[in-house]
Amino acid sequence: MTDYTKQIHRCFRCGYCKFPSDYSDFNCPSYARFRFDTYSTSGRLWLIYAWLKGEIEWSEHLAEILYSCTACKNCVEQCPMKFSSDIVDWIVAARSDMMEKEKGRIPPAVTSFLEDVYRLGNPLKERGKRDAWADGIKRYQPGDEYLFYVGCLGSYDEYGQRMARSVARLLGEAGISFGILGNEENCCGNEVYLLGENELFGMLVEKNVQKFKELGVKKIVTLSPHAYNAIKNNYPPVSNAYFEVYHYTQLLRGLLRENKIKPSQYKAKVTYHDPCFLGRYNQIYDEPREILQSIPGIELVEMERSRENSFCCGGGSGNFVTDLLGGSKESPSRIRVREAYETGANILAVACPSCMTMLQDAVKVEELEDKLAVKDISQIAAESL
């Protein structure tokens, strides 16, 4: 990790981190929620620097401010400075330091998240079998082309499971050779990494990589962009092992182009929400759109804030469990759902089980259930077959 202690004072608190490129609205999820400047990236960076200098002491409020960042990277995208690409890394590094130095004093919801991952292998407090959803889906055998990495939400969350089933169905339809790890799958660790728990992250990487190697896995396709990001970007520096990793939308786009999947008419007006870990983290913006546009009958409309300006659903950095940004009409997921509704779309398409769960809940709270359906791209594609 970068040595943030020597760099973090460079923030000028200019505030560009609060906005998207066109300044249409506030684009930092925690700032949009709480509106004190302290909850924006510049606030966090100045407070971390103050903590390092001993000008402020650790407190519950400081912890809350630090962990309410979803690591969506809007600030990385917008910061005009040369160090912009490092900003979220600095916050993660500071969290890591804080875990060590302020043990026991991080937000209880975060502690609970990490403990559950450690003890149960998932942050959702689920004790049941990880593959209970996966009737009839093949377990990965050496020689299979792809390991389909499902993840915690895909395994345990009701909406995530539906997504996992539709991806499996599509892969099956296209004749792709794949399998899942089932009960042998472990949490990918993306949120653990972002929350700064390095030791636990290291353990998860080791376990997962060992399993992959045992089975001779070369190619991995993930349900979640979080897992995609972790395995692609954060595993190699720790494990030195390299796997070809794809998000399912990358494969699905190829399958459609090669006519291995033949969707039929699906009349809908759809708007697509770019997930942070596909979009800003990995510059995957076109594949999901191409998938939607290749399904006959779909009219794709864009939200005002899309692609690199997408407004985070508020689920990142474990917030889909810890919910540090909930409880207000200014919660990011509710803001996003209202924005989607304004496009006139009747489907809000997602490509991430974390976005799915956040936005599904928000649609209910906003009382838009009859007007706006939240569906994963794989579900739309599967339904169109």
Are residues 345 and 372 in contact, defined by beta-carbon separation less than 8 angstroms?
Answer: yes
Kindly state whether residue 80 participates in binding another protein, applying the rule CB under 8 A. Answer: yes
Q: Is residue 103 part of the contact set for another protein (CB under 8 A)?
A: no
| Residue with smaller CB distance to another protein, 47 or 352 | 47
255: closest CA among 179, 180, 181, 172? 172
DSSP string, 45-93: HHHHHHHHHTSS---HHHHHHHHT-----HHHHH--STTGGGHHHHHHH
- Judged by CB under 8 A, which stretch of 12-20, 187-195, 201-209, 340-348 contacts another protein? 12-20
Binding string, 309-328, against another protein, x = CB under 8 A? Answer: -------------------x
Map the footprint of another protein across residues 187-226, applying CB under 8 A.
Answer: none
In the complex, minimum distance from the CB of residue 335 to another protein, in angstroms, rounded to a whole number: 14
Quick check: 10 binds another protein (CB under 8 A)?
Answer: yes
User: Does residue 15 touch another protein according to CB under 8 A?
Assistant: yes
Report the residue number, 44 or 226, with the smaller CB distance to another protein. 44
308 binds another protein (CB under 8 A): no
Spacing of C-alpha 41 from chain mean position: 19
Q: If binding is defined by CB under 8 A, does position 28 make contact with another protein?
A: no
Residue (130 or 305) nearer to another protein, CB: 305
User: Helical H runs in the chain?
Assistant: 29-34, 41-53, 60-67, 74-78, 87-101, 108-120, 151-156, 158-173, 190-195, 198-214, 225-229, 235-239, 248-257, 286-293, 319-322, 332-342, 353-365, 377-383
Binding status of residue 56 toward another protein by CB under 8 A: yes
What is the contact mask toward another protein in residues 32 to 51, using x (rule: CB under 8 A)? Answer: --xxxxx----x--xx--x-
Distance from C-alpha of 125 to C-alpha of 38, rounded to nearest angstrom: 31
Judged by beta carbon, residue 47 or residue 167, the one nearer another protein is 47
Q: How far is the CB of 35 from another protein (least distance, A)?
A: 6
Nearest to 11 by CA among 66, 51, 39, 48: 48
Determine whether 252 is exposed, middle or buried from the number of CB atoms within 10 Å of its CB (0-12, 13-18, 19+). buried
Residues at the interface with another protein (CB under 8 A): 9-16, 18-19, 22-25, 34-38, 43, 46-47, 50, 55-57, 59, 61-62, 65, 80-83, 328
